[in-house]
Amino acid sequence: MEGVIERLRPLVGLTARTIMGVLFGGTFGFLGVGIGWISFVFFGARSGDTLLLLFIAGSSVGVAGGVSLGWLNLDGNSGIRLVAMGSLLLLAAAGGSWGGYQFGSVQDVPCCATADVTPITYIVIGAILATSVVALVLNLSYRALPLFRR
């Protein structure tokens, strides 16, 4: 029985970190969208492109911060590794939010009914998916490196 528990421990850890990253990322991502909206209103911007940029930037920063918080491991990490991981997650979140917007913007058919989910939701979902996948791949590759060095 102990052997089974020891084999499942990494899987349970990865699953828990992925779930926590998705939850933190979603919460902070929608908070970032809200901050982007507040910035748009209070700074007097008028362009729809500026609003989209603020939505994507706010969502990207929020999701990257939330997912990195879910995957944060304070033991044995150097500052360079944390900054590199944060930068990579921020790039993945920006790409995921842009991809989510591209997907969500075509869901609304002009002739018929409107979509139930707004493109803002797709922006955050795209950022969460891309960032969580990148964080999972980074963690798996970091765990697999000692196996290849033997």
pTM of the model: 0.86
Highest-confidence segment of 37-46, 50-59, 140-149? 50-59
Q: Where are the domains of the chain?
A: 23-149
Find out whether 136 and 19 touch, Cβ atoms under 8 Å.
no
Which residue type does 70 have? G
Find out whether 77 and 45 touch, Cβ atoms under 8 Å.
no
Find out whether 55 and 120 touch, Cβ atoms under 8 Å.
yes
C-alpha 15/C-alpha 94 separation (Å) is 24
Give the pair of three-digit tokens for residue 25.
């990322």
Percent of the chain with pLDDT over 70: 89
